[in-house]
Structure 1
Amino acid sequence: MIYKNMHLYCNENLESSFKDTYNCIKKKEDMSFVEVEKGIVHKYILVDNYNDYGCVTDKDYNIIDDSCLYRGTGINCGRVHRKEVDLYIDKEVIFLGLYFQHYGHELLDGCSRLWFINKNVDIKDYCYISQTDKDDHFFIFNLLGLSSKNLIRVDKNIQFKKVIIPQASNNIYLSYSDEFNETFRKIGYNIEASKKKKIYLSRTKFNFPGMNTVGEKNIEYILKNNGFTIVYPELEKLETVISLMKGAEIVAGIAGSNMHNILFARDNIIEYNLLRTNRVNLEQLIIDKMKNIQSYYIEDFYEPIPPIRHYAIPYLICLTKYLEAFFIDEKIKYNKKELYDKFAYDFLDYFRNYSEIIFNDHLNEESKISIEDLVHNLQLMFSYYDGEFLDLNKKRERYKKYIDMFLWWIPIRKIRYKMRGYFYNKIDKNK
C-alpha cells in the first residue's frame, strides 16, 4: 500500500522509486540483546579508505553478528583487523555501538542501541566505538543520564568481563522500531520546545569540497519571506536544534543529514524535502514512516553533470516545473522572474565550484565533463530560461555577460579569448 501522506513532486521514475522503497521499509518488533562472556570490543580502523573495521567478538575472535553495523542486508562495518587484546577491564559493560564522524549516521546508526539504557538497571558501565578521537557524542549520552565516568571509548582492542550487545533498533535501508523513535523522545525530554512553528534547515553555511548546494540561498530567501525561521544546524548547539524541532509544525530543507534532525520532532508534523539529486532518500523515508510524517519530496535540481555518486560534485538547485507546482499548491509566494534571473548566475557559480573541485583533484576521471558537454549545457540554459521575459537581442546581450562572468577564472588570456569568441559565435547564431 502506498503511503498516503507522501506527496511527490518529481519525474515518474523517481516517483516510482520513492514509492517502491517506502513499501519495502518494515517495522521491527521484539527487540533483544545478547551477552558475551569475555567479549572483546575491537577499535575502529579504516583501511584503504573503504573497509571499516570494528565490532565485538568472543574470546576466540568469532564476530558477534549483532554487534555489526548493518545497512540493508549487508554489513557496513563488522570486521576484525587484528586478533590481539590490548587491555583487559574486569567490568560488565553495555555496548552502545559505532559512532561515525558524519552527523547523520551518528543519529541513525550510533543511536540505534541507546534504547537499552532505560531497560537495564543493573549494569552502569558502557562502551562504544568511535570513528574519531573527539567525544562529540557525550552530549547525547548525558541527555540520557549517562555520566562520562561510566563511558569507555574503545580506542584499542579491549576485553571485558562481559559485553551486553543490544540489537540495533534501526537499519537505515530496511527497518525501524518503536524503541528507536522513543530514544529521541527521551533524549529531548527535558528540553523545552521552541515557539517557532516553521523551520528551514539551511546548508548555506556548510562548506565542504564537492558538497556545495548552489542556488539554495534563493529557496532560503523565499521561505524566509513566507514565515520560516532560517536555522544553520552546524552553527547551533544540539540543545537548540532539539528545541526547534520539538516545537516545529513544518520543517523544510535540502534532503540530507540536516533533515534527519526531524528525529527530535513530534510525530505527524509536515516536512518539505528539496531534492538536490536524482536519488531516493532511504534514510529519510524510514524516519517518515516511523513518525507518520506528512512528507513532500520536490525535484528542484538541475544536473549539468550527472553525479556517479551522491557526493563529490556541487549540486544545483533551481526553479523546475515540479518546484513551481509545489509553490502553487502550498501557496508559497515567490518572484518567478527573479528566480529565472538568478539561475543564470547560479549556473555559472556551479561550474566555478566544479572547476575548483577538478583543480583540487576531488573528482575521478569518470566525473569530469568535456568541453562539448559544457557547450551543450550552456545552450540548454540559453533555451530554457528568460524566454518569457526578454526579446532575442536582450537575451543575447545577457548571455554574453554571463559568458564573460563564467570565463574570468581561466588564467591564460589566449585561451580565454578563444573560448569567448567560440561562445559569442554560438549566441549570435542562436535564434
Structure 2
Amino acid sequence: MCLRIRAFRDAVLVPLSVVRGAAAGGAAIPYRVGGFDSDRAFIRETGLWRHYGAAAAPEWAEPAARLPGTHVYGGILLDSFGHFLLESLARLWAIGETGDAPVLWHFVQPRRRPWQSEILGIAGLHTRAAVPIDRPLGVETLLVPDPGFVIGTLFHPRQAKALDLVPAPAPRAGRRVWLSRSALPPHHVRVEGEAVAEEALRARGWRVVHPERLTVRDQLAAIAEAEVVAGFQGSALHSLILLSGFAGEVRIVRRRETGIGLHPNYGLIARGKGFRQRVLAVPLRALDDGGSSPRLALERPEELADLLDGRA
C-alpha cells in the first residue's frame, strides 16, 4: 500500500462530536469526526476507522472562520494513551513532508493533557503551529495524509520509520522490567494478586515500573535498555513504538478472561518495529461478570515470576 497526501481546495473541517450511548469497548467508534471538500462531500481520509468499523461522518456546517494558505490535517487527539500513540500520531510520517504548514487537530478534550504535549514534543511537533478545530473552519488548501497506522489492520513502514524517535541503546545484561498495572485507578482493568507477584519478581532482580507515575521520557528510559520488557496486555506496552532499534524481548501476559484474545495491534507493532515478542498465558479467574473494566485475579500469583523466567 502506498501512502498519499491529498490536497483539497476550499475544504471545511467541523468540530468533533461525541456519539452518545456508544458502548465503551464495543464495535461503535463514539465520535463523529472529519471534513468536507468544496462539493460538500465527506473526505474519508479525515475520518477515523478501525478493523471493526468506522466513525460516523459529521454533518456539514457553514464555516465560522476561514484559514488562508495551506494547512495539514493532523488527526484526532485521543484521550487514551495507547490510542494516542497509534492513532493520534498516525499521520506523523507525512507531517514532516509538509514544510511548516500549521497542523489542524480535532480535540477530544478541550485542552491537551501534559503527557499528550510531551509525546508531541518527542515527535518534534512542539515548534509546529497547532490549530484546534473548535468551530467549522474553511481552509484554502488542506493537505490530508493517509493514516500510517490503522487499528488492527495497518502499520506502514513509513510510519514505523517516522516513529523512530528515541534511540534505544544495546540491552543491558540481566535488565528485566515489569510494567505494572497494580497502582492504576479503579476504573482501569487491574489484576488482583499482581502486587504479590511483583514481590517475587523484585526478589529475582526484576525492576517493577508503574508507568502512570512517570513522564513519558522516563517510561522510555526505563525500558530502552531492557533485555526483557513484560506486562499484562495494555497500552503501556505501546510506548515501545517510540523507540528506535529496541533489541530486547517483549513478553506479553494475556488477560484471557476479558473475552477477547490478544489484540492484533501488538503483532503489528512488533513486526513494524522489528523486535522479538512472546505471548504468555497465566491462570486467571474473573471476579465479576466483566463489563468495560472486568476484575480479574491471578490463580497463583507466585507462579507469574516462574512463567516470565521460563520456569513454569
Question: Where does 1:26-425 land on structure 2 (aligned, <5 Å)?
Answer: 29-50=1-22, 51-72=30-51, 74-75=53-54, 77-81=55-59, 83-121=61-99, 123-136=100-113, 137-147=116-126, 150-186=129-165, 188=166, 197-209=175-187, 211-265=189-243, 266-278=245-257, 279-280=260-261, 281-304=263-286, 307=289, 309=291, 311-319=292-300, 326-327=307-308, 330-331=310-311
1:73 shift after superposition: 5.8
TM-score, normalised by the number of residues in structure 1: 0.63
Matches of 2:169 and 2:14 in 1, distance apart? Answer: 38
1:177 shift after superposition: 1.2
Structure 1 residue runs without a partner (length 5+): 1-28, 333-431
Structure 2 residue runs without a partner (length 5+): 23-29
Matches of 1:317 and 1:33 in 2, distance apart? Answer: 48
TM-score, normalised by the number of residues in structure 2: 0.84
Matches of 1:239 and 1:45 in 2, distance apart? Answer: 31
AA partner of residue 117 (structure 1):
I
Change (3 A) 1:194 1:55: farther
Change (3 A) 1:161 1:262: same
Task: Give a deviation string over 1:221-264, Cα, whole Å, max 9, x none.
Answer: 22222222221111111111122232222111110111111213
Task: Give a deviation string over 1:38-66, Cα, whole Å, max 9, x none.
Answer: 11222111121324111121134311111
Matches of 1:224 and 1:131 in 2, distance apart? Answer: 39
Matches of 2:189 and 2:160 in 1, distance apart? Answer: 29
AA partner of residue 110 (structure 2):
D
CA contact (8 A) 1:40 1:158 kept: yes
Task: Give a deviation string over 1:3-27, Cα, whole Å, max 9, x none.
Answer: xxxxxxxxxxxxxxxxxxxxxxxxx
CA contact (8 A) 1:300 1:320 kept: no
CA contact (8 A) 1:299 1:320 kept: no
AA partner of residue 97 (structure 2):
K
CA contact (8 A) 1:194 1:244 kept: no
CA contact (8 A) 1:276 1:301 kept: no
Matches of 2:239 and 2:126 in 1, distance apart? Answer: 24
1:33 shift after superposition: 1.3
1:96 shift after superposition: 1.0
Structure-2 residue corresponding to 1:339: none
1:82 shift after superposition: 5.1
CA contact (8 A) 1:194 1:243 kept: no
Cα-Cα RMSD: 2.8
CA contact (8 A) 2:72 2:98 kept: no
CA contact (8 A) 2:233 2:254 kept: yes
CA contact (8 A) 1:104 1:258 kept: yes
**SS in structure 2 opposite 1:133?**
coil
CA contact (8 A) 1:267 1:293 kept: yes
Query: Which protein shows a greater Rg?
Result: 1
Task: Give a deviation string over 1:153-178, Cα, whole Å, max 9, x none.
Answer: 22222221111111111112112111
**SS in structure 1 opposite 2:90?**
helix
CA contact (8 A) 1:67 1:78 kept: no
**SS in structure 2 opposite 1:243?**
helix
CA contact (8 A) 2:171 2:227 kept: no
Matches of 2:69 and 2:18 in 1, distance apart? Answer: 28
Change (3 A) 1:331 1:212: closer
**How many equivalent pairs are there?**
298
Change (3 A) 1:175 1:318: same
**SS in structure 2 opposite 1:286?**
helix
* Structure (1 or 2) with the greater strand fraction: 2
Structure-2 residue corresponding to 1:23: none
**Percentage of identical aligned residues:** 16
AA partner of residue 200 (structure 2):
I
CA contact (8 A) 2:287 2:297 kept: no
Matches of 1:275 and 1:216 in 2, distance apart? Answer: 13
1:273 shift after superposition: 1.0
Structure-2 residue corresponding to 1:341: none
